[in-house]
Amino acid sequence: MKVHGILLAAGKSIRFEENKLFYVINNAPIIKYPIDTFINSLHIDTITVTSSKENQKKIEKLFSHKLLEKITFIEGGNSRNESEFIALSHLGEQLIDGSDLVVIHDAARAFLTPNLLERLILHALEFGSASPYLYSGLLVDEKKEIANEEIVEIQTPQIFDFENLMSAYKKANIDSFDSVDTTECISKYTNITPQLIEGEIINKKITYKKDIYELRELLSV
């Protein structure tokens, strides 16, 4: 069984008001961090990055030729779902095994730690899937009263086997369904109950400029 990494880096950064992938934090652009983490993982066999052609050229300047040999760039779609479907279709063209695991990660979650990545992969190897979560508060019911359930924020990377991912995204593509993330798509179109393990606060998605300030505080601790 192999493990394939997909980094989603084709977003437009509209809410960030500039191309966030190349915003510099601690002397390196945001996009470099998750790619480095994937490259340095002992568990990931292949790496596919969805990106615009313009961003690809900029990303290529950040890495040596030797490291770039480990990365396949493909042009992403107009939505997250479309980019995931394109990347999965690319893996399918490589005739990978249906039981192979696919690790799908938002490049905007720049500070995915090697420890969290390893925990997720090892969990998925044993149980078939893995997605990180954080408790983000208490669920409020229709009467605005606190309910018993706690709200769970699902992070990435999210890991599932290729066969079920391809099946789910083919159906989503037919339905023009644009899921929030991989776990939602899998839950809607398969019988899989996603396996959740605790994530990390530092694995925060960068959407707005204020997220940068929060991350800098976390990184300084």
pLDDT digits (tens, 9 = 90+) for 26-44: 999 999 999 999 999 999 9
Q: Is the pLDDT of residue 141 over 50?
A: no
What's the rounded Cα separation, in Å, for the pair 7 and 78? 15
| The pLDDT of residue 139 | 47
Q: What is the pLDDT of residue 221?
A: 53
Tokens found for residue 206: 């960068």
What's this model's pTM, rounded to 2 decimal places?
0.92
Domain ranges of the chain: 3-220
**Residue at 103: amino acid letter:** V
- Using an 8 Å Cβ cutoff, are 36 and 44 in contact? no
Largest CA distance in the chain: 59
Q: Please say whether the beta carbons of 188 and 168 come within 8 A.
A: yes
More confident residue, 57 or 18: 57
Amino acid symbol at 182 = T
> Who contacts 185 (Cβ-Cβ below 8 Å, separation ≥6)?
81, 84, 168, 169, 172, 177, 179
Q: What top-level class would CATH report for the domain 3-220?
A: alpha beta
